[in-house]
Structure 1
């Protein structure tokens, strides 16, 4: 099986600072204490098994917010010297509400593999699921700086919850020239069929109505620790049904999803669920969409 993996993370705890790994604990996504070790390019490649990974996209690993550009510098060095060109694309971290956001974006853009920015936006009424405790999309400075992404030809990886999707859809309509990529199939954390899943479906339709929004089907095991192919089925197939095969792509979210699945098992699950799709559709989902959207 050949894949382009558009969502992986690397970290070097010996040389870099990741606040969330300084004193990790258990959360709804699993036991982060099991992730407190270096995870380098060769560690990742050693776990891919029979899955032939053609290219990868590195998404910011919540690196030190005081020095977000250092992560990009380190990743570009890996791509240039030891990673066989990988990561082929870098989605960097930046706080778009910061006064120096333009300076930070310019510094990221100086590295040839930089393609976009992710700033985690997840706000939830339940403290268990709350990431940032601040509605960035409602912040005037953040929204002003968001427009700078166009100047630097950067995409935006959109990590949020279903309750925030309509607000994000309005943002995507306002910035139709910027490519948005929904992370982790929209993070349907509230799985009550009558409310949580209905809100997810409604929000995903609102986002998919914007032609500049694509989606990564990834991170499903974070919310489904005892997952099966059948428990993945509705989230995979409904996401593809809403966004279409031309705007959907599979991703691993390694090593976070490694807490609950091997690399091979994840990709085999995806492959099984779309086994009846056409060869063209499967190529789009597994390789060509990621290449096109991340320009690699």
Structure 2
């Protein structure tokens, strides 16, 4: 399918969620048959700064990005707790490339979200401090994933996270250090787990939390064919979480393989008009619940490459925001991300 013409090419965008990685050694560790999510990664196993640059400067007005941790470029030979510092060091170099002005006004990785194992409890604090130091002023917070399901076929062998991480007392011992250090928290878990995030957000009302990927509705494995059936459950949870003023939400991640929106891949070739029709109930629910000032569109690239090219993805979001005012669009496409991650200077 030919690339679409860019809609609203002058609209400033801060992409608040993308990765940089080399997952080829990881993918090679898993045997056949391929799990759909691993198949997603196979087609995006190596996502470099050059690839990000090509995507972000492909027609949309992407002025900057936020890097999201993905377990890449960890320090070899370091204490296990400190290995993630290597990822922030690597991404800091990419950010410095962009800050040089060599690529015009584009500022990649202007904010960096790393990872620290909060199950270390109080032992997480020195890791958070090391990440902050490594970030050279760009480190903003962490993500600690909690995606889990009783059906092992859903996520596949790449995920070994136990159930109910966010409810763990040990996790919360580590979590409390985020607020003390002025750091944000990105949460990734699946639709049936949304109650865990609600409990966490209520327990720490002063901690800024961002819920990734619309809360990850599910449409594969044992959830195949159940998106419609579970929509009301998802919507009620989203509306309840939105009552917590410390939570924002990322509008995206729906092109991941296990969402089933679409089931085809990779880069299914569907038009932005088709994808907008498929995603509208989820995106509109999130915006209505959180409001534009607490919601932001995200690429989740290269993972969402499964269902859409970078240009088609942002065209889809622009179609979904057609009824929004100019002020609301500015928030959804850049302002909310700039405020949450402390990179307002990109919009001046």
Same fold (TM over 0.5): yes
In the other structure, the counterpart of 1:74 is 90
Matched-pair contact (CA < 8 Å) for 2:68–2:114: yes
Instruction: Select which of 108, 113, 120 maps to 2:131.
Output: 108
Tell me: CA distance 1:21–1:153, structure 2 relative to 1, closer, same or farther (3 Å): farther
TM-score by length of 2: 0.78
| Structure richer in helix, relative to its length | 2
SS at match of 1:253: coil
Structure 1 spans left out of the alignment, 5+ residues:
none
Instruction: Select which of 31, 36, 41 maps to 2:40.
Output: 31
- Aligned-pair CA distance for 1:87: 0.5
In the other structure, the counterpart of 1:258 is 305
In the other structure, the counterpart of 2:104 is none
In the other structure, the counterpart of 2:6 is none
In the other structure, the counterpart of 1:230 is 277
- Aligned-pair CA distance for 1:193: 5.2
Aligned residue pair count: 291
In the other structure, the counterpart of 2:103 is none
TM-score by length of 1: 0.91
Greater Cα radius of gyration, structure 1 or 2: 2
- Aligned-pair CA distance for 1:194: 6.0
Instruction: Select which of 235, 245, 255 maps to 1:221.
Output: 255
Matched-pair contact (CA < 8 Å) for 2:167–2:200: no
User: Per-residue CA shift, 1:236-261, capped at 9, x if unaligned?
Assistant: 11111111111110010111112321
SS at match of 1:97: helix
In the other structure, the counterpart of 2:54 is 46
Q: Using the alignment, how far apart are the partners of 2:27 and 2:71 within structure 1? A: 9
Please, what is the CA RMSD of the aligned residues? 2.1
Tell me: CA distance 1:168–1:261, structure 2 relative to 1, closer, same or farther (3 Å): same
Structure 2 spans left out of the alignment, 5+ residues:
1-8, 101-106, 265-269, 344-348
Matched-pair contact (CA < 8 Å) for 2:142–2:185: yes
Q: Using the alignment, how far apart are the partners of 2:278 and 2:114 within structure 1? A: 32
- Aligned-pair CA distance for 1:211: 0.2
Query: Is 1:5 the equivalent of 2:15?
Result: yes
